[in-house]
Amino acid sequence: MRLRVILRLIQIERVLVRHGLDDLVRATHLYRPLRFLFLISWWTWFQHRSVRARAVRLRLALEELGPIFVKFGQTLSTRRDLLPDDIADELAKLQDEVPPFPGPVARAIIERAYGAPLDTRLRAFDEVPLAAASIAQVHAAELPDGREVIVKVLRPGVHSMVALDVEVLYTIARMAQRWWLESRRLKPVEIVREYEKTITDELDLMREAANASQLRRNFAGSQLLYVPEVYWDYCRDGIMVMERIRGIPIGNIEQLRAAGVDFKRLAENGVEIFFTQVFRHNFFHADMHPGNIFVLAQDPAAPRYAAVDFGIVGTLDLRDQRYLAENFLAVFDRDYRRVATLHVQSGWVPAHTRVDEMESAVRTICEPIFDRPLKEISFGTVLLRLFAALRRFNGQIQPQLLLLQKTLLNVEGLGRQLYPELDIWQTATPVLRRWMHERLSLRTVVRDLERGWPDMLEVVRMLPPLAQRTLEQAQDQRLRIPVDMSELERMRQELTAHIHSGDRVLIGAVLGLTAVLWLALHGRPRWVGYLLAVAALLAWFAAWTRRRRGLARHYSGTRG
Q: Which of 22-31, 101-110, 233-242, 507-516 has the lowest mean pLDDT?
A: 22-31
Top pLDDT among 10 and 61 is at 61
> Helix, strand, or coil here: 307?
strand
Of the spans 75-84, 112-121, 160-169, 383-392, which averages the highest pLDDT? 112-121
- Considering only CA atoms, which of 416, 414, 410 is closest in space to residue 375? 416
Is 287 among the catalytic positions?
A: yes
The whole-angstrom separation of Cα 495 and Cα 261 is 79
pLDDT tops 80 at residue 192: no
> What confidence tier does 82 reach under pLDDT thresholds 50, 70, 90?
low
Residue 558 confidence (pLDDT):
43
- Please state whether the peptide bond connecting residue 525 to the residue before it is cis, i.e. omega within 30 degrees of 0: yes
Top pLDDT among 45 and 179 is at 179
Contact 306, 283 (CB under 8 A): no
pLDDT tops 60 at residue 78: no
The whole-angstrom separation of Cα 228 and Cα 219 is 11
Contact 194, 399 (CB under 8 A): yes
Residue 350 confidence (pLDDT):
82
Residue 506 confidence (pLDDT):
65
Candidate list 287, 309, 320, 423, residue with the active-site label = 287
Contact 424, 413 (CB under 8 A): no
The whole-angstrom separation of Cα 81 and Cα 384 is 13
Residue 141 confidence (pLDDT):
96
Residue 190 confidence (pLDDT):
75
What value does the mean pLDDT of the chain take? 78
Top pLDDT among 500 and 135 is at 135
Task: Write out pLDDT tens, residues 102-111.
Answer: 999 999 999 9
- Considering only CA atoms, which of 416, 356, 353 is closest in space to residue 390? 353
Give me the percent of the chain exceeding a pLDDT of 90: 23
Task: Write out pLDDT tens, residues 324-342.
Answer: 888 888 888 889 899 888 8
Tell me which amino acid residue 406 is.
K
Residue 465 confidence (pLDDT):
76
Contact 182, 394 (CB under 8 A): no
- Average pLDDT of the segment spanning 339-346: 85
Order of strands, edge to edge, in the sheet holding 304-307? Answer: 225-226, 304-307, 293-296, 248-249
Top pLDDT among 130 and 536 is at 130
The whole-angstrom separation of Cα 420 and Cα 423 is 9
> What confidence tier does 559 reach under pLDDT thresholds 50, 70, 90?
very low
DSSP 4-70: HHHHHHHHHHHHHHHTT-HHHHHH-GGGGGGHHHHHH-HHHHHSPPP-S-HHHHHHHHHHHH-HHHH
pLDDT tops 70 at residue 199: yes
- Average pLDDT of the segment spanning 513-533: 68
The whole-angstrom separation of Cα 49 and Cα 45 is 10
> What confidence tier does 175 reach under pLDDT thresholds 50, 70, 90?
confident
Residue 109 confidence (pLDDT):
94
> What confidence tier does 296 reach under pLDDT thresholds 50, 70, 90?
very high
For 209, 505, 520, 532, the CA distances from 512, given in Å and listed in that order, are: 84, 10, 12, 7
pLDDT tops 50 at residue 233: yes
Q: Which of 204-208, 381-385, 549-553 has the lowest mean pLDDT?
A: 549-553
Top pLDDT among 545 and 79 is at 545
> What confidence tier does 263 reach under pLDDT thresholds 50, 70, 90?
very high
The whole-angstrom separation of Cα 211 and Cα 309 is 9
Residue 235 confidence (pLDDT):
95
pLDDT tops 60 at residue 488: no
Residue 123's Cα: distance from chain center in Å? 42
pLDDT tops 90 at residue 224: yes
Task: Write out pLDDT tens, residues 433-457.
Answer: 888 888 777 776 666 666 666 766 6
Top pLDDT among 99 and 142 is at 142
DSSP assigned state of 120: G
Q: Which residues contact 406 (CB under 8 A, 6 or more apart)?
A: 75, 286
pTM of this structure: 0.68
For 76, 90, 348, 368, the CA distances from 59, given in Å and listed in that order, are: 11, 7, 36, 36
Q: Which of 216-220, 424-428, 490-494, 524-528 has the lowest mean pLDDT?
A: 490-494
Residue 112 confidence (pLDDT):
94
The whole-angstrom separation of Cα 231 and Cα 142 is 12
The whole-angstrom separation of Cα 169 and Cα 164 is 9
Q: Which of 12-26, 112-126, 190-204, 273-287 has the lowest mean pLDDT?
A: 12-26
Contact 67, 161 (CB under 8 A): yes
- Average pLDDT of the segment spanning 303-323: 87
Residue 510 confidence (pLDDT):
67
DSSP 539-551: HHHHHHHHHHHHH
Residue 555 confidence (pLDDT):
44
